[in-house]
Amino acid sequence: MATPAVAPQTLQTSDVKNQGASRRAFLGFFLIGVLIAIPGSALPAWGYHLQPPYGAIALHFLGFAAGVLLALRISPTFLARFGAHRLLAWSLLMAATGIILVEFSAPPAPQAARHLALLLVGVAQGGIMAATLQLLGRFYQREPAATVNLAGGLIGLGAFLTALLGALSYSWTEFDGLFILLALAPFGAAAWFFRQGLPRDAEVVDLGFTGVLKESRSPVHILFAALLFFETAAELSLLQWVPLHLILRAGMSPSAAMFFLSFYCLALLAGRFLAQSLIQRFPHRRLLLVSAGMSWVGILIFGGTNNFLGAVMGLLLSALGFSFVYPLLVERIGSRFREYHSSLFHGIFGLGMLGGFLAPAVIALWADYSSEASAMSVPLVCSLFVFLLLLMLWIESKISGIRAARS
């Protein structure tokens, strides 16, 4: 008689723990959005729009990418030893420290301080990614596309609020105190986690970044990984470069350029929810191809614009196109490869995030070599690769279907 009495209580306790883990994980995605928007918001705050030091800008983005890569390499060790909750809490404290350093490393502070600030923010973001994807594992296994869509929406919300605060702060104080205000978000979340307690997680298996590369050896795995890499590179490189591009090419004020950045993030956010409804009504392959083409056209318009209307149309088309690719792609991964779990997706997601910060570094290097206007072809090329890789995956799926039918 004792067993039936204990079992429901155990299930209820497990449900409560899962709900608490999901709340922490989704809050983590919101804070990832805040961190993603930090580098692009920092460039005009540091006065880089006056006389852009493109070489230094490239090193900033490479430092951020190096921080993410470092976190991806060491996160399995931390997860195994301390658990996802502790990794998340300490990564949030590191994020708050890095954001505060962004505030106080503006010129005339040494350039090395700005490199260090973005490196710390990158390491923190990698740790938050690893922890949140572990905590969200159960939900990802049930509904991969819906989970990633919600996570993408929260990331978009965090980036939107960061850009909006940047636009408002420049209008009021010329960015003074912006990053101290932004640092309150990860610091407050970390304090809340420590106060609520950090339960010891059940043992989880995390492949880590190198493990993902070893697991993803088949041509189809490589195609999916490359597709996520280039899609994130196009999406995030545009996000990082919107303010500088509009200031330098369209002659906008930093405040107006930051408002356009917030518009781009809002369009991404709205597109995630629009995608969720249209996914149920239209063939997914057509949606993927149309959205990839839409993003390519949007980048083409934005890269060549020097006026308000072109900026609006370019950013809107790009954002809506990007919004559909990620959830549809993750759903295809989940249906095609049942062995894809949250741990493996952690590495794939991290690979995409590396692309998202390597691409703006390439833009800066290209701008240093040629011009800022021509450098905007980098996200255009990334978007073109997305379209071509989708076609290759479609051809591969047709061939696989024919082989399966014959056998």
pLDDT score at 121 = 95
Domain extent listing, the chain: 22-398
Instruction: Give pTM, 2 decimals.
Output: 0.85
Query: The tokens of 355 are what?
Result: 């692309």
pLDDT score at 4 = 35
Q: What is the dihedral of CA 142, 148, 149, 151, to 10 degrees?
A: 120
For residues 49 and 243, the answer to whether their CB atoms sit within 8 Å is yes
Q: What is the dihedral of CA 104, 106, 107, 111, to 10 degrees?
A: 90
Low-confidence ranges of the chain (pLDDT < 50): 1-17, 338-340, 342
Q: Distance between CA 70 and CA 403 in Å, rounded?
A: 41
pLDDT score at 60 = 94
pLDDT tens digits, 287-321: 777 888 888 899 999 988 888 888 999 999 999 88
Of 66, 118, 97, which Cα lies nearest the Cα of 190?
97
Output the DSSP codes for 342-386: HHHHHHHHHHHHHHHHHHHHHHHHHHHHS-HHHHTHHHHHHHHHH
Of 263, 290, 249, 283, which Cα lies nearest the Cα of 374?
249
Count CB-CB contacts under 10 A for residue 42. Answer: 27
CATH of domain 22-398: 1.20.1250.20
Q: Which residues contact residue 404 at a Cβ distance below 8 angstroms, ignoring those fewer than 6 apart?
A: none
